């Protein structure tokens, strides 16, 4: 009996030692950098609801971890099994399994920035969306027709022109257009908060009018210091019932008609469209582009000046005038004489 007890005890010890050794080996595997894929990086999508066992298999199949068991050991070592988050992850180079767990538990999903600059139309934004590889142009155009997203702010809107806030958005590699469009509308709401809307309303301006005027400001100048001045010109014209006479509205009309060739001619100023503010008084039917925050703020708080006119100095800045006579002198100086001098110096 004693002999059997000794053998049993020895066996128990051997099993314990083996188990301890196996445990030590598995622990070491979770702490050793590993890469089982070709190339510099690999992407792994983690759908919502994916469990640790299924996730381990996904990561092993992608070559991110040695095997599913190593991933489970890493989960035990980190204690973060309940923190795993859905999303698409990019893994680059050899990584320890515990670091893979941390990346997923931290929710460090892969995103790429897509930038929509100020003054773009929906059509131009659709080109940016498609060019970034996020989806198709048609998908973006379709999503941008969902005016219900700003119905509480603009009941007359038939699409989201002017309401897609220009900014840089971090996006997953495949971002559905409706999701991005909704995010851009949220950006607009943040840029035109309730206090600015209330201030505009006190001046008799609706949100649609603010955005329409801000789009004109955005298209006319890229100079921050000039935005309140340009806004004052259009606010003053609107107040006295004077035509906007804005070239960007004619360009927009030509773009919508598929007739814009990059050059605005004198004949184009007679193009029959409600967006042609040379032919039709008041504001255009709606925004002609996406204004940025500073343009929106400039319309709500324009400069306290009586200017009604401005003309380009051909260097990105403008000279402003209150009377038509003064404006005509500026046009002569900065358009006629300027280009005469340019031709003479060639």
Residue 3: left (phi > 0), alpha (psi -120 to 50), or beta?
alpha
Per the CB < 8 A criterion, the answer to whether 149 and 203 are in contact is: no
Residue 337 scores a pLDDT above 60: yes
Structure confidence at residue 30 (pLDDT): 77
User: Strand pairing partners for 232?
Assistant: none
Cβ neighbourhood burial of 129 (10 Å; 0-12, 13-18, 19+): buried
Phi-psi region of 258 (alpha: psi -120 to 50; beta: other; left: phi over 0): left
Rounded Cα distance between 76 and 56, Å, is 13
| Cβ(141)–Cβ(195) below 8 Å | no
Segment 38-57, tens digit of pLDDT: 988 999 999 999 999 999 99
Task: Identify the CA nearest to 100 among candidates 188, 155, 34.
Answer: 34
Residue 20 has pLDDT above 60, yes or no: no
Of 120, 293, 310, 311, give the one whose Cα is nearest residue 214: 293
pLDDT single digits (tens) 246-284: 999 999 999 999 999 989 998 999 999 999 999 999 999
Per-residue pLDDT tens over the stretch 53-70: 999 999 999 999 999 999
Domains defined for the chain, CATH in brackets = 23-105 (3.30.1490.480), 111-191 (no CATH)
Residue 213: both structure tokens together:
């005027």
Contacts of residue 50, Cβ cutoff 8 Å, sequence gap at least 6: 58, 84, 86
pLDDT the model gives residue 15:
45
Residue 163 in tokens: 């309401």
| pLDDT at residue 190, as a whole number | 97
For residue 3, the model assigns a pLDDT of: 55
Residue 342 has pLDDT above 90, yes or no: no
Query: Over the stretch 107-148, which tens digit does the pLDDT of each residue have?
Result: 999 998 999 999 999 999 999 999 999 999 999 999 999 999
pTM of the predicted model as reported, rounded to 2 decimal places: 0.82
Contact yes or no for 68/56 (Cβ under 8 A): yes
Question: pLDDT above 90 covers what percent of the chain?
Answer: 82
Question: Which of 210, 198, 202, 127 has the alpha carbon at shortest distance from 163?
Answer: 210
Instruction: Tell whether the model's pLDDT for residue 22 goes beyond 50.
Output: no
Average pLDDT over residues 155-164: 97
Assign 17 a pLDDT band (cuts: 50, 70, 90).
very low
The predicted pLDDT at position 18 comes to: 42
At residue 7 the predicted structure's pLDDT band, cuts being 50, 70 and 90, is low
């Amino acid at each position: 009996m004693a002999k059997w007890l000794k053998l049993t005890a020895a066996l128990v010890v051997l099993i314990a030692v083996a188990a301890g050794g196996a445990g030590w080996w598995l622990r070491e595997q979770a702490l050793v950098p590993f890469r089982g894929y070709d190339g510099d990086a690999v992407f792994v999508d983690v759908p919502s609801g994916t469990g640790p066992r299924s996730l381990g298999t996904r990561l092993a199949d992608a070559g991110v971890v040695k095997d599913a068991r190593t991933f489970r050991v890493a989960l035990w070592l980190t204690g973060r099994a309940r923190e795993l988050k859905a999303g698409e992850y990019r893994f680059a180079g050899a990584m320890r399994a515990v670091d893979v767990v941390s990346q997923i538990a931290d929710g460090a999903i892969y995103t790429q920035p897509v930038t929509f600059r100020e003054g773009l139309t929906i059509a131009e934004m659709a080109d940016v969306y498609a060019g970034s590889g996020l989806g198709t142009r048609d998908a973006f155009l379709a999503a941008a027709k969902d005016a219900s997203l700003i119905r509480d702010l603009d009941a007359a809107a038939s699409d989201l022109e002017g309401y897609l806030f220009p900014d840089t958005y971090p996006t997953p590699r495949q971002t559905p257009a409706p999701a991005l469009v909704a995010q851009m509308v949220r950006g607009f709401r943040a840029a035109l908060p309730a206090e600015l809307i209330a201030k505009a309303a006190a001046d008799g301006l609706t949100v649609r009018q603010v955005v329409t005027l801000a789009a004109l400001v955005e298209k006319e100048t890229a100079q921050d210091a000039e935005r309140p001045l340009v806004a004052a010109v259009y606010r003053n014209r609107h107040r006295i019932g004077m035509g906007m006479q804005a070239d960007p509205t004619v360009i927009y009309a030509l773009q919508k008609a598929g007739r814009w060739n990059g050059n605005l001619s004198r004949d184009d100023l007679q193009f029959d469209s409600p967006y042609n503010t040379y032919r039709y008084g008041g504001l255009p039917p709606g925004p002609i582009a996406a204004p940025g925050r500073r343009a929106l703020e400039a319309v709500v708080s324009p400069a306290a000046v009586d200017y009604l006119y401005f003309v380009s100095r051909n260097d990105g800045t403008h000279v402003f005038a209150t009377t038509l006579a003064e404006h005509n002198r500026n046009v002569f100086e900065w358009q006629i004489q300027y280009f005469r001098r340019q031709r003479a110096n060639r």
